Structures are given as C-alpha cells and as structure tokens.
Amino acid sequence: MSSLKELLAAAPWMRGLTAAQRSRIEAQTVARNLPKGGYACRNGEAAQHWIGVIDGLLKMVVHSPEGKETTVVGFTTGGWFGEGSLLKDEPRRYDAVALRDSQVAYLPRATFLSLYDTSLEFSHFLVTQLNERLGQLIGRMTSDRLLDPNERVALCLTTLYHPLLYPGTERTLPVSQEEIGHLAGLSRPRVNYALKILENAGLLRVEHRRITILNLEGLKQHQSGSHLRPHHAAAHSIR
C-alpha cells in the first residue's frame, strides 16, 4: 500500500461504519513517514493514537527493568495496533520500531474511543483482533520454548501472513531474511538456513527480498511439531 486512503479502504473495520464516521476518520487520521529505526510509539508515553501501518514493517519490543529487550511481534502493511493502551487508558508498554523505512497512520484516541462506544461492528472487530493476537502470542510462547529455529521462522512467516490482521497482504511477503531474523530473534545466517529447509520441504519459495508461501497449512504444521524432538529440547529453554 502506498497511501492512507488505501489503508483505510482495505481496513475490515471501516466497512461496518456509517458514512459520517468514515469521513470523520478520513479527516482526522494523519500519515507520517517513519525512517528505518524510527519509533511509531515509545515505551512509557501517553497513548494518543491507534496506529496503522500504511506500508513497511515494525517490531514491538518490550523492555525488562534491567534494560534487556525482546521482540514480541511484528506489524506489517495493513495492520492496526495500540488499542490495548487506549482501552485501558494507560501509557504504552512497548516501543514500536521501524525495521525499514515505513509509513504509519495515526488515528486520534478520541475518535477511536467514540467508535468503540457507538459502533457494534467496530467493537466486534476489536474483539476479533485481540483474540487473533492472543492466539498468535500463545503460539509464540510455545515456539520460544521449543526453541527450534526452523519452527520459529515458520511461525514468524505464518504470523505475518494473516488476512484479517494484515489485509491486502499477498502470499508473497516482502520481507528480507535479516528482518525475519529481527522478528524471530535469530541470526541472519540461521534464518537463511531455516528458509532453505522450508523451501526444500516445498512449503515456500525464497526470492530476493521476499518469501512466497506455497503451503500455509504445511507451515503451520511444521510449527506444531510434526518432526518432534524428544525431551532434551526442554533443557535448552532456560536462558
């Protein structure tokens, strides 16, 4: 996607709204360019917007009190995030960092809350999105504990290919191997190795700066342990 208009046109939650609501959103939502490494939102700051990804790739990173950080999820083109802080009326608990030059959209907090209060369809969408995210988070936790890098790459890709959360995304994901590394917490060469394994298994095709998913179900199964490793895997999981 290349414009705010396209982002809003593709957004599933726009469809259930009245014309008046839609035009209010179009009038009040602003687009902003975000250079690679830039922040869409910062840990600790007041949450003033619901944030959409017009184009690009961001990662959500959380910080431990000691200053260590972990990537929780990636957000890609078509996605909207940050509703948690808005609904709970609390500061942001994470940074959203651009992994490449990106464009983001800011929908003001007041508009968001008004939609939440007045539109049943909008509320339904939020519940669905939160539910999908929860599912992804659970998958991510299991993945981290299984600690098989190949599975983690597979999970990272199936998480990114999600028509509801990231509408407008094709089966070809415009992602570099280094970016996958940042999202999955792996080194770039290890991602390269994992991708070759998945490609040889016929699950996807590796091209320059993009990955095409050939077998989504196969990738999902790959995560849930079709090639199980026995108990010694657990010994790894403590870091």
Partner DNA sequence: TCATTAAATTGTT
Partner DNA sequence: AACAATTTAATGA
Residues that bind DNA (CB under 7 A): 100, 176-178, 188-189, 192-193, 195-196, 206-210
Structure tokens at 232: 């010694």
Phi then psi dihedrals of residue 30, to 5 deg: -115, 145
Q: Give the count of beta carbons closer than 10 Å to the beta carbon of residue 45.
A: 12
Structure tokens at 74: 């990636």
Please identify, using beta-carbon distances, which residue of 64 and 200 lies nearer to DNA.
200
From CA 28, how far away is CA 82, in angstroms rounded?
17
Q: How near is the Cβ of 209 to DNA at its closest, in Å? A: 4
DSSP string computed for 163-187: TTTSTT--SEE---HHHHHHHHT--
Q: Provide CB contacts within 8 A for 135, sequence distance 6+.
A: none
Please identify, using beta-carbon distances, which residue of 176 and 224 lies nearer to DNA.
176
Q: How near is the Cβ of 19 to DNA at its closest, in Å? A: 38
Please identify, using beta-carbon distances, which residue of 85 and 159 lies nearer to DNA.
159
Please identify, using beta-carbon distances, which residue of 5 and 209 lies nearer to DNA.
209
Q: How near is the Cβ of 128 to DNA at its closest, in Å? A: 32
Structure tokens at 201: 């298994």
From CA 41, how far away is CA 56, in angstroms rounded?
15
Q: How near is the Cβ of 198 to DNA at its closest, in Å? A: 11
Q: How near is the Cβ of 159 to DNA at its closest, in Å? A: 18
121 exposure class (CB count in 10 Å sphere: 0-12, 13-18, 19+): middle
Q: How near is the Cβ of 176 to DNA at its closest, in Å? A: 3
Q: Provide CB contacts within 8 A for 34, sequence distance 6+.
A: 40, 56, 58, 98, 101, 102, 103, 104
Please identify, using beta-carbon distances, which residue of 89 and 207 lies nearer to DNA.
207
From CA 83, how far away is CA 109, in angstroms rounded?
9
Q: How near is the Cβ of 185 to DNA at its closest, in Å? A: 15
Please identify, using beta-carbon distances, which residue of 39 and 193 lies nearer to DNA.
193
Please identify, using beta-carbon distances, which residue of 90 and 207 lies nearer to DNA.
207
